[in-house]
Structure 1
Amino acid sequence: MGSAMGDILPLALGVAISPVPIIAAILMLLSPKAKGTSVGFLIGWVLGIVIAVTLFTLLASVIPEQDPDVSKPITGTIKLLLGAALLFLVVRQWRSRPKSGETAALPKWMSAIDTMTAGRGLVIGFLLSAVNPKNLLMAVGAGLIIGAAGLSGGEVAIVIVVFTLIAASTVAIPVIAYLLASKRMAAPLEALRTWLVQNNATVMALLLLVIGVVVIGKGIANF
């Protein structure tokens, strides 16, 4: 279990360090319906992570078991394809970064956050965590690692819980902090939002580059 736990950590961090959902959570916390919308968003975010990783863990578990001392071409090929997809996203993110002196644009759906309900916040949280291409690739990678590790049911559950806690932490922390001390958190959250909006593409490009190289390296090691 320790090996699987270590292998999923970079992928969990890849989900956690996602500027767009963090920005969305902050905007919800600064909106008129802050509490309901942000809590709904957090619930949807966590559900999306759990469902996606669990689904791909189940799918990965059907890959035929092999001797740990021999090559695993199926697993290796999937990891290579996953790494290549992450590197493709690196190029897209890097090209989308704002030029010097240019202000980064937010996704159009964020302009409606002030009028969102808790239910819609939940749906958006779920879509950002379970359907977003970048996070979906992370879930595929984590599911592949967990499903192919030969763990018991209890160990699989523990690894998925750890993955979820790490992946959801960057959305959960500001939401919980705001609920506990809303007045004191308003200014820091606004400053964080501004920085994340401007540096979103650069942060994601560098993060995906590191994770993509790691995944490709692990894929090569399976041959």
Structure 2
Amino acid sequence: MGKVLGDVLGLAAGVAISPLPIIAIILVLATPRGRLNGLLFTAGWIVGLSALGAVMLAIAKPSNASTHGHPATWVGILKLVLGALLVLFAARQWRRRPTDPSQAQLPKWMAAIDRLTPVKVFGLALVLSAANVKNAPLTLAAGAAIGSAGIPLAQQIASLAVFVVIGSLGLLAPLVVYLFMGDRAAKTLGNWKDWAARNNVAVMAALFFVLGLKLVGDGISVLTS
């Protein structure tokens, strides 16, 4: 289990460092029902990551993802494809970066966050966790790594749980600040939001590139060993 945790911790950190979802939860916490909406947003994020990872584990078991403790060929191909996609996304993000970071614009849907119902807040978090162009490939890669490790089901579930917890730290931090820092929370979260907004594109491009190369390397290693 130790080896598979080593494989997925980097992927989980990549999921955790997601500027747009961090900005989204800070905006959610600023709504009149901030406590409820913040908890629902975090719950939706955790459910999304868990469900996508569980789907990958379910696919891996009947598909013989592991052969004598070694990942199957299709696992290597999957990692190679996911890694290549992330590298392409990195190039796309870098080309679209603003020349002046202070002029960076947030997605238009963020302007409507204060009007979302609790159910829609939960659904937004599901989308941002499970259907995000960065998080989905990383979660699928983590699920494939866990499913191909040849470890018992209980250890697979525990490994996925560790991945989800680490991958949720980016949202848990603002939530903890909001719940426990009282009047100081607004200023702290505002500073975090401003930084994330200015550096979103650069951070995402760097993460796409580094994690994409890691997955490409992992895929090549599986296919050539």
Quick check: TM above 0.5?
Answer: yes
Q: Partner of 1:111 in structure 2?
A: 111
Contact 1:63–1:148 (8 Å) recurs in 2? no
Q: Deviation of residue 68 (structure 1)?
A: 4.6
- For 1:175, the aligned partner's letter is L
SS across alignment from 2:48: helix
Q: After the TM superposition, which residues 179-218 of structure 1 pair with which residues of structure 2 at under 5 Å, given as runs?
A: 179-218=179-218
C-alpha distance in 1, partners of 2:194/2:218?
A: 36
Q: Distance in 2 between matches of 1:68 and 1:212?
A: 24
Query: Which stretch of structure 1 is more off in the superposition, 110-119 or 200-209?
Result: 110-119
- 1:89 partner SS: helix
Task: Show structure 2 runs of 5+ residues with no match.
Answer: none
Q: Is the 8 A contact 2:12 2:138 kept in 1?
A: yes
Which portions of structure 1, spanning 4 or more consecutive aligned residues, are displaced by more than 3 angstroms?
none
Matches within 5 A, 1:1-223: 1-64=1-64, 65-68=66-69, 72-100=72-100, 103-222=103-222, 223=224
SS at match of 1:217: helix
> Is the 1:57–1:142 Cα contact (8 Å) retained in structure 2?
no
Instruction: Give 1:62 shift.
Output: 2.6
How far the C-alpha of 1:109 sits from its partner, in A, is 1.1
Distance 2:22 2:102 in 1: 21
What is the Cα deviation at residue 213 of structure 1? 1.0
For 2:76 and 2:191, how far apart are their aligned partners in 1? 42
The normalised TM-score by structure 1 is 0.94
Amino acid of the structure 2 residue aligned with 1:185: A
Which amino acid counterpart does residue 146 of structure 2 have in structure 1?
A: I
Partners of 2:69 and 2:148 within 8 A in 1: no
Q: TM-score, normalised by structure 2?
A: 0.93
Identity between Structure 1 and Structure 2 (%) = 37
The Cα of 1:72 is off from its aligned counterpart by 4.3
User: What secondary structure does 2:105 align onto?
Assistant: coil
Distance change >3 Å, CA 179–CA 68, structure 1 → 2: closer
The change in CA–CA distance for 1:164 and 1:203 in structure 2 (over 3 A counts) is same
